[in-house]
Chain A
């Protein structure tokens, strides 16, 4: 038979699966939907914050460079159109400019041929052609105008006594010399430390940092500059060189990095913020770790709850099941505790009630069977009634003594047949033919004994002969008639009419007499009290019939005083005998 729904599956397992499935679905939703979204938000947020930090340092550097450019342009504004003239106010101005700021180490103005017009740092120690060949000089002249050239970090060695690590700023300026316009270069050396201070203080996470590099990828400032120069560390600038502004990622020593790149316009330097993904995402990782741990704990607790709940819910059912198995095995004395869920309690109560009814019915059946057997025994006993037997045998002897052998033989034969049918090899059910044979034999014996005291007539519907009936139900009625006839007839012959008929459903035995009848007040008691004088009595027959066929069947007594009595036995046709 095809299983429908959950039929056939263990309730315990169904509860477990249902519980775990719903918890699993929830956890799956959290892990697959919620966690990635929140992780993504955390990552974006972390990168945004890192970006802000980098932009702040860029802004600081921008401001600083703007400031320096202002000083450079202001210094250039101080220069006279002809620096070869003896006036030196502009030189004082340059000195003042240099003194006004700690980060400006020297300001110098060079002519077109590399000759020094003035320097705040003193005399030149290299020949003019070396100045002319310097990169800063060439670039400044090349970028004519207000655009300033920013050099890479280097040790300034142009002037006597000065050995400082600087970044040089240079711009070209037009001046007049001997009536000719020429192009000179204003050089301003800024302490390298002033630039590195902008980036050195920036930390992006525990390991992250900011560095500067020029357009060609040469490092300007880097927290590990010396290590890189010594070959003890490296900074892969390829990814950062590929763009002027943007965000990109690379990998270093197995750690993924995010590079935030922007450019300082005035210097064309790239500012690169390096942040390590594992540090940026520390919060995200912590979140994922916490969610994972919480999810695992939730899963374990769900498993525990599912197990315990399934156990707790199904325990009373399993108890119920085990008790039912005991009942199935035949122990009807089982009692189930009526407790637990309402439904279980209800089932337990109903089951206990059912068991009690079964026990009562079984007791009743046992009792009925015992009563039946008792009645049958009684009926049999009646057949072996000593008085009847004694009297019959006595009659046989008397006949024999009188030479009436044939009558004696007839009586002996009738007695033998009477007892044979009474016993019927232990069968409870016999044919109507046999039952009537039994009655005939009885009547033969009694007729020979009581001669004219009574007469009888037997009328049988042929259709009834082969019907089956519980045995020894007609003879007691006939015996009852005969006994009353002998006791109360007062010399008159009693006529007994015995009729057997059938209806579509029933088999009817009618025993009528024309005797004195029965008092009306005694009628109700006839089927309820045993009549000791009259053998097993009408009660015995009536109860046996009802025990066998049910309460709808049995004896019906109709009697009119001084007119007669009719007793009808009604039993069902086609009755299947129970083994």
Chain B
């Protein structure tokens, strides 16, 4: 076949290809497959869950992820089957003891993210407890001399132990007392600042403060006391409160989904900032959603 005819044919074919490619509509976001994520919970955890879902939704809208919230089934295998039937692409676990379900999900090679706790070999999103411990000790030292600062620990709370780990360098360096919980009010009252590594300890300390068992000279620093946090801060039962951000956890967790589903995410720990709030800062806009999570 003559060369000019071949050249002409090639040009025509290339033009046609360019025409098709050049004028095709760009792929719309809706045409990409939507991911479905199931959040498994044990019970409705109130404001924490509400803020967690808000954070998840904020990320989901940008990543085209659909979220459903379900109560976890007691039978792990049944749960795995249910997830498969729903066509879920990944699961987020907000459970006190996720291990039984984790085994089943691992066996089924189902992508999972753990919320609010750390399990080795898993993708986890939780508060930065080590940094929280450090920050609490620093605030305590601002309120009292090192010799009058007490750090209370609780072996049964893994997150509390993590906070203690974070605080340990300063505790040792400054010669701060570290005692296990419980301790008597008399012991506690001898300190100028008492820092609690867990919510349970903080609640107890707040109660002691409210009944006057701890004098006004004892500053209480601790973890978020939940529904009574506003009263505890306003009434002076707790001077400094460390607060998780479930909103940030939810946002971060959903942000991991694309990599997780594409099997490009290795087991890892993703930490969210924990904020220290006191009565002078509790009403500021940046802390509103932490202190008043139900406020619209």
User: B-contacting residues of A (Cβ < 8 Å)?
Assistant: 152-157, 163-165, 193, 219, 224-227, 229-232, 289-290, 292-294, 296-297, 300-301, 303-305, 307-308, 310-311
Contact = CB atoms under 8 A, between A and B. Distances in A.
Contacts of A308: 4-5, 8
A2 B2 CA distance: 34
Interface in B164-221: none
Chain A interface, >50% SS class: helix
A155 B292 contact: yes
B247 A230 contact: yes
Nearest to B283: A155
Given A154-B285, A227-B251, A231-B273, A165 B292 contact: yes
A229 B18 contact: no
Contact of A232 (B19, B54, B251, B289): B251
Interface string B259-296: 00000000000001100000000111111110110011
A152 B245 contact: no
Nearest to A309: B4
Please list the 7 inter-chain residue pairs (A to B) with the smallest Cβ-Cβ separation, ordered nearest first: A293-B22, A304-B11, A311-B4, A229-B286, A153-B285, A155-B283, A304-B8
Nearest to A297: B15
Given A193-B296, A230-B273, A304-B12, A154 B284 contact: yes
Contacts of A157: 234, 283
A164 B292 CA distance: 9
A390 to B, nearest CB: 76
A287 to B, nearest CB: 12
B7 A307 contact: yes
17 contacts: A153-B285, A154-B284, A155-B292, A163-B230, A163-B292, A164-B295, A219-B285, A225-B285, A226-B54, A227-B251, A229-B286, A232-B248, A232-B252, A293-B21, A297-B22, A304-B8, A308-B8
Contact of A289 (B22, B285, B292): B22
Contacts of B245: 230
Contacts of B7: 303-304, 307
Contacts of A305: 8
B78 interface: no
Nearest to A219: B285
Nearest to B13: A300
Contacts of A230: 245, 247-248, 251, 272-273
A307 B296 CA distance: 71
Given A301-B11, A304-B8, A307-B7, A229 B285 contact: yes
Contact of A290 (B22, B54, B58, B252): B22
A193 B285 CA distance: 13
A297 B20 CA distance: 11
A164 B251 CA distance: 25
Residue among A153, A193, A230 facing the most chain B CB atoms (10 A cut-off) = A230
Nearest to B11: A304
B288 A301 contact: no
Contact of B15 (A224, A290, A300, A311): A300
Residue among B7, B15, B284, B296 facing the most chain A CB atoms (10 A cut-off) = B15
Residue among B4, B7, B19, B230 facing the most chain A CB atoms (10 A cut-off) = B4
B63 to A, nearest CB: 14
B19 A293 contact: yes
Residue among A226, A290, A297, A303 facing the most chain B CB atoms (10 A cut-off) = A226
Given A153-B288, A227-B58, 13 more contacts: A155-B292, A224-B58, A229-B285, A229-B286, A230-B272, A232-B251, A293-B19, A293-B21, A301-B11, A301-B15, A303-B7, A304-B7, A304-B12
Contacts of B11: 300-301, 303-304, 307
A154 B283 contact: yes
Given A163-B295, A232-B248, A304-B11, A293 B234 contact: no
B284 to A, nearest CB: 6
Contacts of A226: 54, 58, 247, 289
Contacts of A154: 283-285, 288
A286 to B, nearest CB: 9
Contacts of B58: 224, 226-227
Nearest to B286: A229
B84 interface: no
A301 B11 CA distance: 6
A135 to B, nearest CB: 12
Contacts of A219: 285
Interface string B7-43: 1100110110011011100000000000000000000
Contacts of B252: 232
Contacts of A165: 285, 288, 292, 295-296
Contacts of B295: 155, 163-165
Contacts of B283: 154-157
Nearest to A221: B285
Nearest to A225: B285
B8 A307 contact: yes
A36 to B, nearest CB: 20
Contacts of A229: 285-287, 289
A293 B17 CA distance: 10
A226 B58 CA distance: 10
A231 to B, nearest CB: 5
A154 B288 CA distance: 7
A358 B5 CA distance: 38
Nearest to B252: A232
Contacts of A289: 22
A291 to B, nearest CB: 10
Contacts of A300: 11-12, 14-15, 18
A376 to B, nearest CB: 56
Interface string B228-247: 00100010000000000101
B254 to A, nearest CB: 11
Contacts of B291: 155
Contacts of A224: 58
A304 B21 CA distance: 20
